[in-house]
Amino acid sequence: MTLTADQIALFKKDGYLIVKDVVSPDLLRAIRGEYDGVMDQLYDDWFAQGLVTDPAEGLDFWAKLDRARAAGVEWFQPLDISLPHADITEDTPFHFGPAVFDLVTHDPILDVVETVLGGELTSNPIQHVRIKPPQRDVPEGETRAHIGVTAWHQDRGVGHPLADETDIITVWIAVTDATVKNGCLRLIPNPPDEMLPHCPQIQTAIPDAHLDQDRAIDAEMTAGSILLIHPLTPHCSGPNTSDGYRWSFDIRYNVSGQNTGRQQFPDFVARSRAQPQTELRDWRTWLGQWEQARTTAATSPHIDQHRWQADSPFCA
Ligand SMILES: O=C(O)CCC(=O)C(=O)O
Ligand SMILES: [Fe+2]
């Protein structure tokens, strides 16, 4: 699926673009199936440790996740397609499997991204799954934007300065429908040419005075649709006020050879028109690279991502 000239022009002007029905229903099913399997295994482990008490029989993915949350089990990190910012150990769990690899290398997504960034595409390691429960059930003190609300930011502003010049695009993928009610993304179109100030608050956030929130739009999306986000487009997401979960992946691509901004985590060539033989095709290699990165991170000093100072005049 390539973008039309009109869509490319819209993306350049608005700094975002929703493209409907990009991820095939088969792949969406495979992803849900893969996560079912991951959850089955996790739940069995939690049950064996006595962390959850209801037997697994008859419980689906969501029921198991509900039980884990109610029991205060750390459920997010073992489902994420990344490592955390800090405190990585050899035992830090994550999820890398064939279906998520197929998502990151899904030709219809790469076709769309190629129309914007060209045919030499690296899968950038800044990537997450977000399976957001109803906000009323999010424990107080849980500040991760992977679980609850996301504060206003530009993706360049929450990345490493080494990637400021990198041609990079965020692809936000709806696995469930995303609606205002369940906390879809909000974006402010026509982004500025520069980075706005960010402040280290609960999350790294653009102060209100630098946001024209009256112009914000809600990116409601159907499952399987994707949202392209330019690195300077301010965006956030509101609380999930529905009774169900809001499930998305956000992945990124940059022009190959440029700095990913997270060099301690592995990137790979997702598409190369010039040298197709350099494309990674085996998910096990991907998993192995992340295992290696985890081992290295567990024994290396912490790398700070953020450049913003709380005592800057913008943050008063
Ligand atoms: O899904 C969200 O709530 C935030 C996503 C986001 O900020 C991103 O994908 O860059
Ligand atoms: Fe973002």
Q: What is the pLDDT of residue 166?
A: 98
**How high is the pLDDT of residue 267?**
98
- Residue 130 near ligand 1, beta carbon < 6 Å: yes
* 246 ligand 1 Cβ < 6 A: no
CA distance 273 to 70: 48
- Ligand 1 centre to CA of 119 (Å) is 25
Domain count, the chain: 1
52 occurs within a structural domain: no
Per residue in 61-92, pLDDT (tens digit) is: 999 999 999 999 999 999 999 999 889 999 99
Cα–Cα distance between 108 and 137 in angstroms, integer? 35
**Cβ of 154 below 6 Å from ligand 1:** no
| pLDDT confidence of residue 94 | 98
d(CA 141, CA 101): 32
Question: From the CA of 198, which ligand is nearest?
Answer: 2
The string of pLDDT tens digits covering residues 89-143 is 999 999 999 999 999 999 999 999 999 999 999 999 999 999 999 999 999 899 9
Q: Does 177 map to a domain? A: yes
Say how far apart CA 41 and CA 34 lie, in whole Å: 11
CA distance 242 to 239: 9
Task: Give 316's pLDDT tier (boundaries 50, 70, 90).
Answer: confident
Q: Is residue 284 part of a domain?
A: yes
Helix (H, G, I), strand (E, B) or coil at 239: coil
Is position 204 within any domain? yes
Does residue 80 lie in a domain region? no
309-to-159, 161, 165 alpha-carbon distances in Å: 15, 14, 21
CB 103 within 8 A of CB 31: yes
pLDDT at residue number 207: 95
pLDDT of residue 301: 84
* Phi, psi angle pair for 247, to nearest 5°: -115, 125
* 203 Cβ closer than 6 Å to some ligand 1 atom: no
Domain assignment of residue 107, given as a range? 5-25+95-301+309-315
Distance CA 31, CA 49 (A): 27
Q: Is residue 169 part of a domain?
A: yes
Indicate the pLDDT class of residue 306, thresholds 50, 70 and 90: confident
3-state SS assignment for residue 28? helix
What pLDDT, on a 0 to 100 scale, did the predictor assign at position 1? 77
Indicate the pLDDT class of residue 302, thresholds 50, 70 and 90.
Answer: confident
Residue that is written with structure tokens 């696995």 in the block: 175
Closest residue CA from atom 5 of ligand 1? 250
- Is residue 247's pLDDT more than 80? yes
> What is the pLDDT, as a whole number, of residue 234?
98
Please tell me the predicted confidence (pLDDT) of residue 78. Answer: 98
**For the chain, first and last CA: distance in Å?**
46
How far is it, in rounded angstroms, from Cα 245 to Cα 239?
A: 11
Percent of the chain with pLDDT over 90: 91
Instruction: Find out whether the beta carbon of 198 lies less than 6 Å from any atom of ligand 1.
Output: no
Residue 229 alpha carbon, nearest atom of ligand 1: 10
Average pLDDT, the chain: 96
The pLDDT tens digits for 255-293 are: 999 999 999 999 999 999 999 999 999 999 999 999 999
Mutual orientation of helices 5-14 and 107-117 as an angle, nearest 10°? Answer: 70
Looking up residue 149, the CATH number of its domain turns out to be 2.60.120.620
Residue 36 lies in a domain: no
Strand partners, 186: 218, 236
- Tens digits of per-residue pLDDT, 34-54? 999 999 999 999 999 999 999
Centre of ligand 1 to C-alpha 170, Å, is: 9
Q: Report the C-alpha gap between 291 and 19 in whole angstroms.
A: 33
Which pLDDT score, from 0 to 100, does residue 45 have? Answer: 98
Ligand 1 within 6 A of CB of 123: no
> How many CB atoms are closer than 10 A to CB 21?
13
CA of 293 to the centre of ligand 1 (A): 23
CA distance 131 to 66: 12
Whether the pLDDT of residue 313 is over 90: the answer is no
C-alpha to C-alpha distance for 106 and 99, rounded to whole angstroms: 10
pLDDT of residue 221 exceeding 80, the answer is yes
Tell me whether residue 69 is in a domain: no
